[in-house]
Amino acid sequence: MQKTLYLAIGLPGSGKSTAARELQDALGTHQVKVVCRDDLRAMLDQSEWSRLNEKLVLEVEESAIRHALRRDFSVIVADTNFSTSIRTRWGQVALQADALLDDYTLDMRHIPLEVCLERNALREGVERVPDRVIRDMWETFLENSAERLANREPA
């Protein structure tokens, strides 16, 4: 199996982590590792988000991904991965590690906002993302995505 860097993409509550674990089970934990900033943030900062904390969390995440790829594991990045800059960053990491980049297998952008908000409401304590954050992400990255795709110039 060619080592691959899989990028989950979707809102909080869209099922990225669940899908990542299911893919890991299907491919084998001896071949695939899951890395997620939420898990690292919980480990390092008791899930408290801040700009200062997030810089370290991202550095630790990137280090973990690079180390796993160097050891010929595939890696699933179970974050929102909406921004072009973060997807470009992971693409460069994959390229440097001679790994494939897969950003479609775990694409959860089709999950409706309402479903994400409902799932988020069921989360306990610090794992719950403020609804306004989810709504802001949806407005920024997804609200008009189908319309934007329909209006794209042909390649």
Which pLDDT tens digit goes with each residue over 71-123? 999 999 999 999 999 999 999 999 999 999 999 999 999 999 999 999 999 98
Mean pLDDT of 47-68: 90
Spatial distance between the Cα atoms of 146 and 150, rounded to a whole number of angstroms: 6
Q: What average pLDDT does this structure show over 37-58?
A: 84
CA-based torsion, 155, 90, 104, 68: positive or negative: positive
**In 3D, which of 69, 71, 77 has the Cα closest to residue 7?**
77
Q: Which CATH number is 109's domain given?
A: 3.40.50.300
Check pLDDT > 80 for residue 155. no
Residues in the chain: 155
What is the per-residue pLDDT for 144?
Answer: 72
Residue 155 lies in a domain: no
Number of domains forming the structure of the chain: 1
What average pLDDT does the segment 36-47 reach? 85
Residue 57 counted as domain residue: yes
- Note down the domain range covering 116: 4-150
Residue 15 within a domain: yes
Mean predicted confidence (pLDDT) in 44-56:
81
Alpha-helix residue ranges (DSSP H) falling in 8-130: 16-27, 37-45, 51-70, 84-96, 113-121
pLDDT of residue 110: 94
pLDDT (tens digit per residue) in 1-27: 799 999 999 999 999 999 999 999 999
Contact 102, 7 (CB under 8 A): yes
Q: Does residue 74 form part of some domain?
A: yes
Give a yes or no: residue 33 inside a domain: yes
**Two structure tokens written together for 8:** 């989950």
The structure tokens 């810089």 sit at: 55
